[in-house]
Amino acid sequence: KAGVTQTPRYLIKTRGQQVTLSCSPISGHRSVSWYQQTPGQGLQFLFEYFSETQRNKGNFPGRFSGRQFSNSRSEMNVSTLELGDSALYLCASSLAYGLAGVHEQYFGPGTRLTVT
Amino acid sequence: AQSVTQPDIHITVSEGASLELRCNYSYGATPYLFWYVQSPGQGLQLLLKYFSGDTLVQGIKGFEAEFKRSQSSFNLRKPSVHWSDAAEYFCAVGVPTNAGKSTFGDGTTLTVKP
């Protein structure tokens, strides 16, 4: 079974621009979560989607948004980029993760975003 | 809200020596616990998980972890470390009422001396 894939792997953007990152989950997984990883803040939860609905959201500004498609693929968008948005963005997929129980998350390799 | 503490930021062990990485969690009910490993520039790989039942769980790469409710701990162990185990290790907790969110510790960086 193919793992979680994320594209692109690396991105360099300028302050004020916007960026879209993509995540394809493991086949059959319906829950997709996004995390931001930085040296200073560690792994921070951005949001989670299940069956095209955002079920949970972390403490990030509205510039961070996402969506999920009917095939469970997910995208996240960051508008008006700031220098502090430079980070590794990780996508994780799971069979299900919520009131029906917690399943382990499988992570993709991440997208390294550098904002200059 | 749940939280995870990994008291050791950095640990150095000699190759062949045993390893124990500490993890303490805070959560009112029985948590779902995970250990992940991350090599530089890579994503996280799941080593093992605890959901319920036997408190000693076995994982991949020869790792095991023991859940101790009385100490709110979930320490990771390996009897003999290999140079390829050098990486960063994260403990995480998940709860059913917080959809899709695992809360991670700050990580422990493992260095292996030859």
Per residue in A9-37, pLDDT (tens digit) is 999 999 999 999 999 999 999 999 999 99
Per-residue pLDDT tens over the stretch A31-56: 999 999 999 899 999 999 999 999 99
- Is A60 at the interface with chain B, CB within 8 A? no
Confidence class for position A111, pLDDT limits 50, 70, 90: very high
pLDDT at A97 over 80: no
Instruction: Average the pLDDT over B22-34 and give the result.
Output: 91
| Closest of A34, A5, A33, A10 to residue A86, by C-alpha | A10
The verdict on A25 touching B (C-beta cutoff 8 Å) is no
- Comparing B19 with B2, which gets the higher pLDDT? B19
Which residues, at least 6 apart from B70, have a Cβ–Cβ distance to it below 8 Å?
none
- pLDDT for residue A67: 98
Contacts of A45 in chain B (CB under 8 A): 100-103
Q: What's the pLDDT band for B29 if we cut at 50, 70, 90?
A: confident
- A99, pLDDT greater than 80: no
Task: Output the average pLDDT for chain B.
Answer: 94
What is the C-alpha separation between A95 and A72, in angstroms, rounded? 11
- Judging contacts by C-beta atoms under 8 Å, the chain A residues touching residue B90 are 43
Of A43, A50, A112, the CB nearest to B104: A43
| A112 contacts on B by Cβ (under 8 Å) | 41
Residues of B in CB contact (< 8 Å) with A are: 32, 34, 36, 41-46, 49, 51, 90, 94-107
- Asked if residue A66 has pLDDT above 80, the reply is yes
pLDDT at A101: 74
State how far the Cα of A104 lies from the Cα of A10, in Å rounded to an integer.
Answer: 26
Task: Name the residue with higher pLDDT: A82 or A98.
Answer: A82
pLDDT attached to residue B53: 84
Question: Is B98 a residue whose pLDDT tops 90?
Answer: no
pLDDT score of A7 more than 70: yes
pLDDT grade for B114, boundaries at 50, 70 and 90: very high
Q: Which two tokens stand for residue A114?
A: 């550098």
For the segment B18-46, the average pLDDT, to the nearest whole number, is 93
Beta bridge partners of A4: none
**Residue A8: per-residue pLDDT:** 97
Torsion sign (Cα): B20, B24, B30, B35: negative
How far apart, in whole angstroms, are the C-alpha atoms of residue A48 and residue B45? 19
Chain A CB contacts of B95 below 8 Å:
102
